[in-house]
Structure 1
Amino acid sequence: MLNSSTGRCPVQGRFDPLAPGYIADPYPALATLREEAPVFYEPRLDMWPVTRHEDVKRILTDHESFSGAITQTPFYPLAEEAKEILDAGFHATPTVSNCDPPKHTRVRAFNVKAFSARRVAGLEPVIRAYTTELLDAVASRSRFDLVRELTAPLPAKIVFSLIGFPESDSEALKALALNRMAFTWGRSTKDEQVRIAGRMVEYWRYCTDFVAARKEDLRDDFTSDLLRSHLADPAALSVEEIVNVIHAVSFAGHETTTNASSSTLQRLLAHREQWEEICADPSLIPNAVEEGLRFDPSLHTWRKITTREVDIGGVTVPAGAKLLLLIGSANHDPARFPDPDQFDVHRSNSQQHLTFGRGIHACFGAPLARLEMRVMLEELTARLPHLRLAADEVVRYHENACFRGPVQLWVDNPSPA
Structure 2
Amino acid sequence: MTFAAQSVSAGDPAGLLDLFGDDFVRDPYPWLAALREESPVYYDPGTGLWLVSRYRDIRQVLLDPDAFHPDNAQNTVTPLPIGVLRVLARAGFKLPPALANNGSASHAGLRRVVTRFFNARRVAAAVPVIERIADDLLTDIRQRMDVTGGDDLFTSFAQVLPCRVLMELLGIDGVSPATLIRWSDASLELFWGRPTPERQLELAALVGEFHRWLTRTVTDGTAPRDSFIGALAEHRLPDGRPLDVETAVGVCFFVFIAGQSTTGQLIATVLSRALADGDLWSRAAREEGPAEAWVEEVLRREPPVTTWRRVTARPVELGRVELPAGAQLLLMLMGSGSDPDVFASPERLCPHRANVRRHLAFGVGRHRCPGASLARTEAAVALRAAARHLPRVRLAEEAGDGPMLGLLSFRAPLRVAVEQRHQVT
Asked if these proteins are the same fold (TM beyond 0.5), I'd say yes
Contact 1:115–1:364 (CA<8 Å) still a contact in 2? yes
Q: Distance in 1 between matches of 2:356 and 2:412?
A: 19
Specify which of 188, 198, 212 is matched with residue 191 of structure 1: 198
CA deviation profile, 1:142-200 (whole Å, cap 9, x unmatched)? 21101011100001111122222216532222233343222111110111111111111
Paired AA for residue 350 in structure 1: V
Once residues 390 and 113 of structure 1 are traced to their aligned partners in structure 2, the CA distance between those partners, rounded to angstroms, is: 41
Task: Give the aligned partner of residue 318 of structure 1.
Answer: 324
Q: Is the 8 A contact 2:265 2:411 kept in 1?
A: yes
Displacement of 1:55 after TM fit? 0.8
Q: Is this contact kept in 2: 1:9–1:40, CA < 8 A?
A: no
Structure 1 residue 407 and structure 2 residue 409: aligned? no
1:208 corresponding residue in structure 2:
215
After superposition, residues 8-23 of structure 1 pair within 5 angstroms as 8=1, 10-11=3-4, 14-23=16-25
Task: Select 2:104's aligned residue among 101, 113, 128.
Answer: 101
Asked if 1:353 is matched to 2:356, the reply is no
Alignment match, 1:53? 55
Give yes or no for the alignment of 1:302 onto 2:316.
no
- 1:261 aligned to 259, 267, 286, which one? 267
User: How far did residue 289 of structure 1 move?
Assistant: 1.1
CA RMSD of aligned residues (A): 2.1
Matched ranges for 1:13-412 at <5 A:
14-88=16-90, 89-140=92-143, 141=145, 142-166=149-173, 168-213=175-220, 215-218=221-224, 220-229=226-235, 235=241, 237-393=243-399, 394-412=401-419
Give the Cα separation in 1 of the matches to 2:255 and 2:344: 34
CA contact (8 A) 2:40 2:54 kept: yes
Distance 1:113 1:278, change over 3 A: closer
SS class of match (1:49): strand
Cα distance in 2 for partners of 1:177, 1:168 equals: 13
CA offsets, 1:206-242, max 9 Å, x none?
Answer: 01111122x34415432223323359x9615334322
Residues 300, 360 of structure 2: 8 Å contact kept: yes
User: Which amino acid counterpart does residue 44 of structure 1 have in structure 2?
Assistant: G
Which sits farther off after the overlay, 124-133 or 219-228? 219-228
Q: Is the 8 A contact 1:115 1:222 kept in 2?
A: no
Q: What is the Cα deviation at residue 98 of structure 1?
A: 0.6
Q: Kindly report structure 1 stretches of 4+ aligned residues shifted beyond 6 Å.
A: none
**Displacement after TM superposition at 1:415 (Å):** 6.2
Matched residues, number: 407
Q: What is the one-letter code of the residue matched to 1:99?
A: N
Distance 1:220 1:129, change over 3 A: farther
Distance 2:95 2:254 in 1: 9
Q: Classify 1:150/1:361 alpha carbon distance in 2 versus 1 (closer, same or farther; 3 Å).
A: same
**Contact residue 72 and residue 309 of structure 2 kept, 8 A:** yes
Give the aligned partner of residue 8 of structure 2: none
User: How far apart are 1:29 and its partner, in Å?
Assistant: 1.2
2:280 & 2:176 partners in 1: Cα distance?
38
Partner Cα distance (1:167, 1:157) in 2: 13
Displacement of 1:380 after TM fit?
1.6
Comparing 402-411 and 73-82, the one that deviates more: 73-82
CA displacement, residues 59-96 of structure 1 (integer Å, 9 cap, x when unaligned):
11110111110111111212221122223321221111
* Distance in 2 between residues matched to 1:335 and 1:277, nearest whole Å: 31
Shift of 1:389: 0.8
Give the direction of change, closer, same or farther, for the CA distance of 1:392–1:217 in structure 2 (3 Å limit): closer
Separation in 2, partners of 1:272, 1:348: 23
User: Deviation string for 1:3-56 (max 9, x for gaps)?
Assistant: xxxxx3544993211011111111111111111111111222111001111111
Which sections of structure 1, spanning at least 5 residues, go unmatched? 1-7
C-alpha contact (below 8 Å) 2:223/2:229 kept by paired residues? no
Distance 1:279 1:116, change over 3 A: closer
CA contact (8 A) 1:114 1:226 kept: no
Percent pairwise identity: 33
User: Cα offset for 1:202?
Assistant: 1.2
- Secondary structure of the 1:71 match is coil
Q: TM-score, normalised by structure 2?
A: 0.90
Shift in alpha-carbon separation, 1:108–1:354, aligned structure 2, 3 A: same
